[in-house]
Amino acid sequence: MKLSSPYPVSVVCQALGLSRSSYYYRPKERDDTECKSAILEAAGTWPTYGYRRITAQIRRDRPLVVNSKRVRRLMKELGLQAKPPRKRRRTTNSDHDFPRYPNLVQELEVVHPEQVWVCDITYIRLLVEFVYLAVIMDVFTRCIRGWHLARSLHQDLTLTGLRRALASGRRPAIHHSDQGVQYAAIAYTDTLQSHHIAISMAEAGAAWQNGYAERLIRTIKEEEVDLSDYRDYHDAYRQLGRFLDDVYMHKRIHSSLGYLTPAEFEYAWLAEQANVGHHVQYESRF
Q: Which residues contact 19 (CB under 8 A, 6 or more apart)?
A: 13
- Grade residue 286 by pLDDT with cuts at 50, 70 and 90: very low
Of residues 35 and 82, more confidently modeled: 35
CA distance 7 to 28: 27
Question: What was the pLDDT predicted at 2?
Answer: 47
pLDDT value for 26: 55
Element at 147 (helix H, strand E): strand 144-150
CA distances from 32 to 51, 71, 164 (A): 16, 10, 48
**Mean pLDDT, the chain, as a whole number?**
85
- Least confident piece of the model among 25-29, 130-134, 139-143, 175-179: 25-29
Asked if the model's pLDDT at residue 3 lies above 50, the reply is no
DSSP state of 248: I
- pLDDT at residue 29 in the model: 57
pLDDT tier, 41 (very low <50, low <70, confident <90, very high otherwise):
confident
Which pTM was predicted?
Answer: 0.73
| Band of pLDDT at residue 236, cut at 50, 70 and 90 | very high
- pLDDT exceeding 70 applies to what percent of the chain? 80
Predicted pLDDT of residue 1 = 45
pLDDT bracket for residue 65 (50, 70, 90) = confident
- Which of 168, 88, 160, 167 has the alpha carbon at shortest distance from 119? 160
pLDDT digits (tens, 9 = 90+) for 169-205: 999 999 999 999 999 999 999 999 999 999 999 998 7
What span, in angstroms and rounded, lies between the C-alpha atoms of 201 and 134?
Answer: 16
Give residue 9's pLDDT band: very low, low, confident or very high (50, 70, 90).
low
pLDDT value at residue 271: 94
Query: Does the structure show a pLDDT above 70 at 50?
Result: yes
Worst-scoring range by mean pLDDT, 64-68, 201-205, 228-232? 64-68
| Rounded (5°) CA angle 145-180-173 | 40
CA distance linking residue 104 with residue 116, whole number of Å: 10
* Residue 246 pLDDT grade (very low, low, confident, very high; cuts 50, 70, 90): very high
Greater pLDDT, 53 or 138: 138
Q: Which of 173, 189, 195 is nearest to 110 (CA)?
A: 173
Residue range 99-114: mean pLDDT, rounded = 95
